[in-house]
Amino acid sequence: MAVSSRVLFLSFLSVLVSAVVGHGDKKFQNVTYDGRSLIINGKRELLFSGSIHYTRSTPEMWPDLISKAKHGGLNVIQTYVFWNIHEPVEGQYNFNGNYDLVKFIKLIGEQGMYVTLRVGPFIQAEWNHGGLPYWLREIPNIIFRSDNDPFKKHMKKYVKMIIDKMKEEKLFASQGGPIILTQIENEYNHIQLAYRDLGSRYVQWAANMAVGLKTEVPWIMCKQKDAPDPVINTCNGRHCGDTFTGPNKPYKPSLWTENWTAQYRVFGDPPSQRAAEDIAFSVARFFSKNGTLVNYYMYHGGTNFGRTSAVFTTTRYYDEAPIDEYGLQREPKWSHLKDLHKALNLCKKALLWGEPHVESLGKHTEAQVYENSGLRICAAFLANNNSRAAANVHFRGETYYLPPRSISILPDCKTVVYNTQTIVSQHNARNLKKSKVAKNLKWDMSPEPIPSVEQLPVDSRTPKELYGFLKDTTDYAWYTTSIELAPRDLPMRPDILPVLRVASLGHALHAFVNGEYVGSAHGSHDEKSFVFQSAVNFKSGVNHIALIGMTVGLPDSGAYMEHRFAGPRSVTVLGLNTGTLDLSINGWGHQVGLTGEKLKVFTQSGSHRVGWKNANGQGPALTWYKTYFEAPEGNNPVAIRMNGMGKGMVWVNGKSIGRYWVSFLSPLGKPSQSEYHIPRSFIKPTENLLIILEEEKGNPEDIELVLVNRDTICSFVTEYHPPHVKSWQRKDSKIRPVVDIVKPAAQLHCPNHKKIVAVEFASFGDPYGSCGSFFTGKCSASITKEVVEQHCLGKTSCSVPIERELFIKDNDACPDIKKTLAIQVKCE
């Protein structure tokens, strides 16, 4: 059977067995698939999806995030389900607050969008322990993610609980809900070989177990080449149009479950970037090669509140996504992808019903064409794969200009409506402005008690392993011991001091001798283990050593995660007259957590359980700080800038906004993260309690509360840019303009109904730079700013045509160059 006739036949069958209704009508929907696409209610769909994790934002933010995703051209939201927050204690479940999975899915459905539910239960996701609850490590004889009876027992129980909960709420498409896809496991191919036959059998078991739960929607496995029928294997990566070997059966569609919009960051990392042009190129490539679903991971990253981030992962998550950590659209990424979705939808009929073929247009250039002469449809993707040189190509009697490494989309095989490299949508820059209300903070301090063996008597010959000791209840554990030194044990020369050396498996450590701080050390994401060394002024007599061992999240990836370890493993004193002293088996006392944590000093009631005094300058290591602040003015997002601090945690009105670590510098000499998001829902109108636990020697005087906006918007458009994709529509099977004159133009639109109050930069000629830092080149039309002000001042949105006669009234100083129009305006 020919491809087109087979597709028509399968779709016809699907129509016969499906009720053709929207999921908002709460009626049954049939979700099937074939080798071309998913089929929902008998209808083929192009699906544009974005990952938004309910746990990484607040319920108050969810409606706006979902709405912005929808207006960005998405029709699917993808989320993981997080086992360790839903079942933190075996048999005790939590689906409240920002863990309310059901509410989140229902909100998506109310906005007419679909859901992909990634049940896991292992999810990685740079989430603490990869989503697996700590108590699972303590199940006898367990081996995670393998053909292991204890693991399979608990995994099946959890997955069934989640699926049953979705069924009870009628959230599957087969029940009229928004869930159209479900995922079991996650990128298992990465570690499968480590388990040999136990891994292969586990894949078969997991797939069969999931399908047996009868959700009546397709199941997927990402990065799983051997996903058994009927489970669909999908691609994760940056360039699945080039790297994906395809579905493992011809009757399965090509689905892309993770297109990474940047790269998650760990403490010590420099900024992570991925250009909007590169993302757009990868998506256009994938859809030109039979892809019909792409998911942006992440579309909104959000915040790792509390202790939820994985090992060394920053509190801010995928801030470079199309919607940033604060819920603001990052331009041009958000709009350039929105325009791409519009362009692909103009090709929808051809992509879903046309016959694909490839035409070579020359060296490094080609056309991917979808055509069906019977239906009179044709769409073409003209690609220039040369990353350095532009190309002029000839296609069906016309000449087309292709910038380096770009794809032009022609929904009718004639009209260019979009090019991946030429951004016609606006840009913006993020601004952080000090609050006028929440300022002049008055700080109090309360040092954490430093214990000794007198408070923590010896209970173990050696230091306890950190993961097993803490059981993921806190980041902190005390280790205490003591040594008695005679005067002759100590060096006799004043320029020589003994050295305390601690070899640790991770993640960080602070050391105190006789109650005094002597230093810190830490590992990194790539190398958790480290050695702490510091010269110490020991005294004659009994010396008390107190170490505070710390975790910075549990590991979230790799094989045999149940066999990872952390904490001090060897403690020695070097440089004594009597030689090196090994304290590893000296006898150690232990304590889980800090005294301040036990007293809950970060809450209003707990803050009264300790004594406070005025903070004046730099405080000692391991100190609690307290202040109150008024709600910052307006309704813009709020962040705290941790100037003068080192490492610790922050609470606002008893709610943790996560770990901070500004003393861990990137290779650029700057912190990986300096500002930390405080959701508006955490803030009261007045008397907001702000508590900081500073582990190092910090000074809170320069801490600032700032307001976040993206009110600086820009445009950077050239004469060779195509007109905006919204200039076109499909009518009567043809692509027709919806405006009188189809020309490139600078498009500007202020967020949140604000208006353009100032033109901060305008140049028509050869300007360069980026939004927030444009520069005039060698030639610029003198009246550019005046023209832009006439078109834009006082308006919420404006369009400035790219027309030479509009900007150049006399002689053109550089007539031989293609002109660029760069604009930067301020919205209020």
Dump pLDDT digits (tens) for 425-449.
999 999 999 999 999 999 999 999 9
Distant-in-sequence, close-in-space partners of 182: CB < 8 Å, separation ≥ 6: 116, 117, 118, 119, 163, 210, 215, 217, 218, 219, 220
Cβ-in-10-Å burial (0-12, 13-18, 19+) of 123 comes to: buried
* Catalytic residue status for 687: no
> What pLDDT is recorded for position 813?
84
| Per-residue pLDDT band at 28 (split at 50, 70, 90) | confident
Rounded CA-CA distance 106/751 in Å is: 27
Rounded to whole angstroms, how far apart are CA atoms 699 and 429?
Answer: 30
Render pLDDT for 59-100 as a digit per residue (tens, 0 to 9).
999 999 999 999 999 999 999 999 999 999 999 999 999 999
What are the C-alpha distances in Å from 754 to residues 425, 608, 794? 18, 44, 9
CA dihedral sign of residues 38, 40, 45, 50: negative
Q: How far apart are CA 788 and CA 73, in angstroms?
A: 29
Confidence of residue 704 (pLDDT cuts 50, 70, 90): very high
- End-to-end, the C-alpha distance of the chain in Å comes to 61
**Other C-beta atoms within 10 Å of 569: how many?**
16
Residue-wise pLDDT for 188-215, tens only, equals: 999 999 999 999 999 999 999 999 999 9
The average confidence (pLDDT) of the chain is: 95
- Two tokens, residue 174: 């087969």
- 257 has a pLDDT exceeding 50: yes
461 burial class (0-12, 13-18, 19+ CB within 10 angstroms)?
Answer: exposed
Confidence of residue 810 (pLDDT cuts 50, 70, 90): confident
State the catalytic residue, choosing from 258, 320, 694, 695: 258
Q: In percent, how much of the chain has pLDDT > 90?
A: 92
For tokens 């939201």, name the residue.
77
Q: What is the pLDDT of residue 27?
A: 63
Which of 20-34, 395-409, 503-517, 698-712 is predicted least confidently?
20-34
- Does the pLDDT at position 13 exceed 60? no
Task: Please say whether the dihedral angle defined by the alpha carbons of residues 139, 143, 149 and 151, taken in this order, is positive or negative.
Answer: positive
How confident is the model over 590-647, as pLDDT tens digits? 999 999 999 999 999 999 999 999 999 999 999 999 999 999 999 999 999 999 999 9
Alpha-helix residue ranges (DSSP H) falling in 435-570:
466-470
Does residue 187 have an active-site annotation?
A: yes
What is the per-residue pLDDT for 577?
A: 94
| Whole-number pLDDT of residue 26 | 58
Q: What is the 3-state secondary structure (H, E, C) of 698-712?
A: CCHHHCEEEEEEEEE
Q: For 103-150, how does the pLDDT look when each residue is reduced to its tens digit (9 = 90+)?
A: 999 999 999 999 999 999 999 999 999 999 999 999 999 999 999 999
**pLDDT over 70 for what percent of the chain?**
97
pLDDT for the residue numbered 739: 81
Among 241, 244, 242, 225, smallest CA distance to 233 is for 225
- Residue 374 DSSP SS3: coil
Neighbouring C-beta atoms of residue 701, cutoff 10 Å: 13
The one catalytic residue among 187, 366, 448, 695: 187
- Predicted confidence at residue 568, as pLDDT, reads 98
Pairing of the two strands 508-513 and 444-447: unpaired
